[in-house]
Amino acid sequence: MEKSKKENKGFISWFKDNWEHNSLFSTLFALLVMVLIQCVVMWNNAGSFAGLFPKMRMAWLNILRNNAYAGIIALGMCFVIISGGIDLSVGSMLCCLGAILLYLIEPNFGLLLKIGLTGPLAYALSIIVLVCIGYVFGHLNGSLVAYGKLPPFIATLGTMKIFRSVTQQLTKKFNPTVPAGFKAITSTKINGQVILPIIYWITIVILMHIIFKKTAFGRQTIAIGSNERAAKLSGINVNMTKRNIYSLCGVMCAIAAIIYIARIGSMDFANAGNGYEMDAIMAVVVGGTAMSGGRGSVIGAFLGMLITGVMNNILNSVGVPTFLCEAVKGVIIIFAVLLQKKDNA
């Protein structure tokens, strides 16, 4: 309804109004600009206009596939940040959950094999178990924050260290393989392409968006991030809601771990998931969510992930050294937050 009102005043003022007040709009616009730059770069590389489309198609399949894990985690992170918190443990949690999943489904000495379960039934059970464990891990974070009254940064910094180091110690002599049947979860080709991770990601984006927009839990999440005291004085069970928010983030990590294992087929327990917390935070912030909580959106976190993905793709295509790519990411996140500040004033 806002659109029609503003359009009378001309495109420029409509644009300006949205740019200043609608963070999703500015994120989408930023993505559009990136895609245009990407087109120019691709066109240049392909040498002809006709060569642009297959190149773009491949590039986008890669962007979407490679960012699916961190992208799914970013959705959980998005809830955490909107509630005014932060979860640094997501990367380590992914790694730890991945290890647990491997213990469950390993074809030679896996736990499920020992109780005589194999095939699809075993895989389904392992997925359910893993999601539950992810929920419990998130629950732990949430309880530390809500009932232990720890600052989220400290609580999840602690669990981040715990998840990682315990995983590394317990997997010292662990050299697992992933059964082909489990890999089929992501690697089954559709139209000759591996697109299942992308489908999972987008499905979860839609689910999380609906949770955010349509449930009381979603509204209460914003309320807590917007003004925790007012939320409490509105009869909201702030502690329970916070705990659930972190649990949801844990579930997202579990889903990301399942897709990760199924796609990569192994896990480097020292490095898997390293830096995912920062990638997720970056996607959320670039997507227009305020670190102070209260403002933001799930779709924004999705778009934010795509922006960083496209950015990486462009930098690779023009041959920027890998080390410098990180610097460019840094510039982007700083810009994104500078733009948000304008929104506050």
Partner 1 sequence: MNLFMHKINKSFGANNVLTDVDFKLNSGEICALLGENGAGKSTLMNILGGVLPADSGTIEIDGKEVNFESPVDSLDAGIGFIHQELNLVNDLTIYENMFITHLPKKGLFLDTAEMIQKTEALFQRMDVDMDPRMMVRDLDASYKQIVEICRALLQDASLIIMDEPTTSLTEPEIRRVFAMMRTLKDRGVGIIFISHKLNEVMEICDRYTVLRDGNMVAEGLVSETNTHKLAAHMVGHEVTTEINTRSGQHGKEVLRLENLSDERHFRNISMAVHAGEVLGVTGLLGDGRSELFQTVFGAMNTKHEGKIFLDGAEIHVRNTHQALDHGIAYLPRNRKENAILKDMTILDNGSIVYLPKIVRGLFIDQKRQEALFQKEVDELRIKMSDKFNLITSLSGGNQQKVVLAKWLMSDPKVLILDNPTQGVDVGAKEEIYQIIHRLADTGVAIIVLSSEAQEIVRVCDRSWVMFHGEQVGLVEGDDMNEHNIMYLATGGNAA
| Positions in the binding site for partner 1 (CB under 8 A) | 1, 210, 214-216, 219-220, 222-223, 225-227, 229-237, 239, 294-295
Least CB distance to partner 1 at residue 340 (A): 13
Query: Of the two residues 19 and 217, which places its CB atom closer to partner 1 in the complex?
Result: 217
Cα gap 294→221, rounded to integer Å: 8
Non-local CB neighbours of 143 within 8 Å, separated by 6+ positions = 243
Q: Which is nearer to partner 1, 189 or 219 (CB)?
A: 219
Nearer to partner 1, 114 or 229 (CB): 229
Q: Which residues, 6 or more positions from 33, have their beta carbon under 8 angstroms from its beta carbon? A: none
State how far the Cα of 66 lies from the Cα of 310, in Å rounded to an integer. 11
Burial (Cβ within 10 Å: 0-12, 13-18, ≥19) of residue 312: buried
User: Distance between CA 229 and CA 157 in Å, rounded?
Assistant: 25
Shortest gap between Cβ of 18 and partner 1 (angstroms)?
Answer: 15
Q: Is 39 helix (H, G, I), strand (E, B) or coil?
A: helix
To the nearest whole angstrom, how small is the minimum distance from the Cβ of residue 242 to partner 1? 13
91 or 225: CB nearest partner 1: 225
Cβ distance 45 to 55 under 8 Å? yes
Q: Residue 80 or 223: which CB sits closer to partner 1?
A: 223
Provide, rounded to whole angstroms, the least separation between the CB of residue 135 and partner 1: 17
Question: Side-chain half-sphere of 177: how many Cα atoms within 13 Å?
Answer: 5
Minimum CB–partner distance for residue 207 and partner 1 (Å): 11
What is the closest distance, in whole angstroms, from the C-beta atom of residue 219 to partner 1 in the complex?
6
- Closest contact distance (angstroms) between CB of 66 and partner 1 is 32
CA distance 49 to 45: 10
The amino acid at 307: I
The nearer residue to partner 1, 75 or 196, going by C-beta atoms, is 75
In angstroms, the CA 336 to CA 151 distance is 25
Nearer to partner 1, 98 or 294 (CB): 294
Supply angle C-alpha 179, 181, 184, rounded to 5: 115
Cα–Cα distance measured from residue 268 to residue 175, given in angstroms and rounded to the nearest whole number: 10
Min CB(9)–partner 1 separation in Å: 17
Distance between start and end Cα atoms, the chain: 24
Identify which of residues 66 and 343 has a Cβ nearer to partner 1 in the complex.
343
Q: From the CB of 158, what's the least distance to partner 1, in Å?
A: 24
Distance CA 310, CA 302 (A): 12
Cβ closer to partner 1: 149 or 172?
A: 149
* CA–CA gap between residue 5 and residue 27 (Å, rounded): 22
The β-bridge partners of 193 are 190
